[in-house]
């Protein structure tokens, strides 16, 4: 969320920068709403001063034995005017808040121009994509032939775009989660949390999912409130500190959690609907960091390294790209995507996004800290995937597949699995 004063002060510069992400800022309407609010406050202040003056005059006349009925009537009229002016202020503030909630974050100047993945700028490649002396299978064919992935029974249970993992497949998913959480908590300094999977409308609004993306969310309700299934653990983790003031000596705060994630993926039918790439329910390890605005970029770079560490442990080939301004998420000002190589598609596909939100979420959720003078200021937030289990499992199967239809798993997983190879029939062995 923006400080309306900053947007108005930036003027045409704010309009230009938001246009880079395809958003047309109606600065005139914002200014008009802010002026209405300011003039309403001034009017109330004037009326209250007048009310105070009349009250004093009533008291003085009463003490002198003069008739005060006319003055009392005037006082009643002024109080009525105050109530009307206060209602006008509330209306202007509500309209202003609604307008501000719909304005995306201003993209960083470091984000390249463009509005799609075609305009992403590659930062680096790590590892050479594997070259096979045979035609590589995709993870669906591999998993189903082994009997460790079952999409047909998942469809019977829940409809399309769900999955069932069994045997070595379920064990592999669990091992990935254990590896990632151990890396983040033991090596990278994150504190693991177990959080609710259902959250309130206010919580979703705090991180920017609402009001804009309600169509992408699954919603239910209790008697007294709406509840939404989380699309990512970023939502509950970040909002743990909503409406709190964090002491500067506590920063940065580093949080991680393993949760299911639920997304309707409205409008994405036909895109990546085969296999584990884009599902309505998937499991993911998430990372969140809360810091001061001047440290946000440094913390973001650190988080990218934490996500990369997961891929390196799994001997996966990947690359890091900077997303274009017009392809950056609503709440983010800069995003790095980590893209893993999928042999079946002969291309890199996104497996983690690490985003710097600046103070955008801090303002929305009321997450604050203090500057060197003790003044309360919004905190900055960063989040990233570290990593999604389904997409990672797909990449592991595809990049480590063997000519005989088996998969030789990375050494880093052996201590969690107790086996190294998933054979073509779904059984397991040490080598």
Structure confidence by residue, pLDDT tens digits, 97-113: 999 999 999 999 999 99
The pLDDT of residue 373: 95
CA distances from 168 to 150, 404, 425 (A): 12, 17, 11
Residue found under tokens 């939100």: 357
The answer to whether the annotation marks 352 as part of a ligand binding site is: yes
Average pLDDT over residues 57-76: 89
**266 band by pLDDT with thresholds 50, 70 and 90:** low
What does the alpha-carbon distance between residue 66 and residue 84 come to, in Å, rounded to a whole number? 30
Phi–psi pair at 18, nearest 5 degrees: -70, -30
Structure token pair of residue 402: 């063997």
Q: What angle do CA 231, 237, 242 make, to 5 degrees?
A: 110
> Considering just the CA atoms, what is the radius of gyration of the chain in Å?
28
The pLDDT of residue 67: 86
The answer to whether the annotation marks 221 as part of a ligand binding site is: no
**392 band by pLDDT with thresholds 50, 70 and 90:** very high
The answer to whether the annotation marks 51 as part of a ligand binding site is: no
What residues contact residue 284 under an 8 Å CB cut-off, 6+ apart?
232, 233, 258, 259, 261, 385, 387, 388, 389
Structure token pair of residue 351: 């497996």
The pLDDT of residue 37: 94
Query: CA 182: distance to chain centroid?
Result: 23
The answer to whether the annotation marks 355 as part of a ligand binding site is: no
Across-strand partners of 289? 254, 382
Higher-confidence position of 62 and 125: 125
Q: Taking Cα atoms as reference points, which of 186, 60, 306 lies closest to residue 52?
A: 60
Average pLDDT over residues 272-290: 92
pTM: 0.92
Higher-confidence position of 274 and 176: 176
Average pLDDT over residues 252-265: 96
The answer to whether the annotation marks 264 as part of a ligand binding site is: yes
The answer to whether the annotation marks 351 as part of a ligand binding site is: yes
Average pLDDT over residues 276-289: 96
The answer to whether the annotation marks 350 as part of a ligand binding site is: yes
Residue found under tokens 């296999």: 275
Residue found under tokens 């309130």: 200
Check whether 273 has a pLDDT greater than 80: no
Sign of the CA dihedral running 156, 157, 159, 165: negative
Query: What residues are annotated to the active site?
Result: 263, 278, 350, 353, 391
Is-cis flag, bond preceding 361, omega within 30? no
CA distances from 421 to 1, 139, 403, 410 (A): 49, 15, 13, 9
Check whether 265 has a pLDDT greater than 90: no
**231 band by pLDDT with thresholds 50, 70 and 90:** very high
Sign of the CA dihedral running 201, 202, 207, 211: positive
Q: What mean pLDDT, rounded, does the chain reach?
A: 95
The answer to whether the annotation marks 56 as part of a ligand binding site is: no
CA distances from 149 to 144, 162, 414 (A): 5, 11, 20
The pLDDT of residue 270: 57
């Amino acid at each position: 969320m923006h400080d309306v004063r900053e947007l108005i002060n930036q003027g045409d510069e704010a309009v230009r920068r938001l246009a880079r992400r395809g958003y047309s800022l109606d600065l005139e309407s914002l200014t008009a709403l802010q002026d209405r609010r300011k003039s309403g406050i001034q009017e109330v202040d004037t009326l209250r001063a007048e009310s105070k003056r009349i009250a004093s005059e009533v008291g003085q006349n009463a003490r002198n034995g003069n008739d005060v009925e006319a003055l009392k009537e005037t006082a009643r009229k002024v109080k009525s005017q105050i109530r009307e002016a206060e209602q006008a202020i509330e209306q202007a503030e509500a309209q202003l808040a609604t307008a501000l909630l719909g304005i995306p974050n201003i993209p960083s100047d470091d984000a390249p121009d463009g509005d799609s993945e075609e305009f992403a700028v590659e930062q680096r490649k790590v590892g050479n994509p594997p070259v096979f002396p045979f035609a590589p299978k995709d993870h669906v064919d591999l998993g189903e032939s082994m009997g460790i992935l079952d999409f047909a029974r998942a469809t019977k249970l829940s409809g399309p775009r769900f999955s069932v993992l069994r045997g070595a497949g379920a064990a592999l998913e669990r091992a990935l989660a254990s590896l990632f959480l151990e890396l983040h908590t033991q090596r990278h300094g994150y504190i693991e949390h177990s959080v609710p999977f259902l959250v309130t409308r206010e919580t979703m609004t705090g991180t920017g999912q609402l009001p804009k993306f309600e169509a992408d969310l699954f919603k239910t309700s209790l008697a007294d409130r709406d509840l939404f299934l989380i699309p990512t653990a970023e939502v509950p983790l970040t909002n743990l500190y909503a409406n709190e003031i964090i002491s500067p000596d506590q920063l940065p705060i580093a949080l991680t959690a393993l949760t299911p994630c639920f997304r309707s993926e409205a409008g994405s039918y036909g895109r990546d609907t085969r296999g584990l790439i884009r599902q309505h329910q998937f499991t993911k390890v998430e990372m969140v960091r809360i810091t001061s605005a001047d440290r946000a970029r440094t913390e973001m770079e650190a988080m990218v390294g934490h996500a990369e560490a997961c891929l390196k442990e799994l001997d996966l080939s990947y690359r890091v790209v900077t997303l274009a301004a017009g392809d950056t998420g609503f709440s983010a000002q800069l995003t790095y995507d980590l893209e893993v190589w999928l042999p079946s598609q002969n291309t890199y596909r996104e497996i983690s996004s690490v985003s710097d939100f600046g103070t955008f979420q801090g303002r929305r959720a009321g997450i604050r800290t203090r500057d060197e003078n003790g003044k309360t200021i919004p905190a900055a937030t960063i989040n990233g995937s570290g990593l999604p289990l389904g997409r990672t499992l797909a990449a592991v199967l595809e990049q480590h597949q063997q000519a005989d239809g088996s998969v030789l798993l990375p050494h880093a997983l052996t201590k969690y699995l107790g086996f190294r190879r998933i054979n073509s029939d779904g059984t397991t062995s040490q080598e």
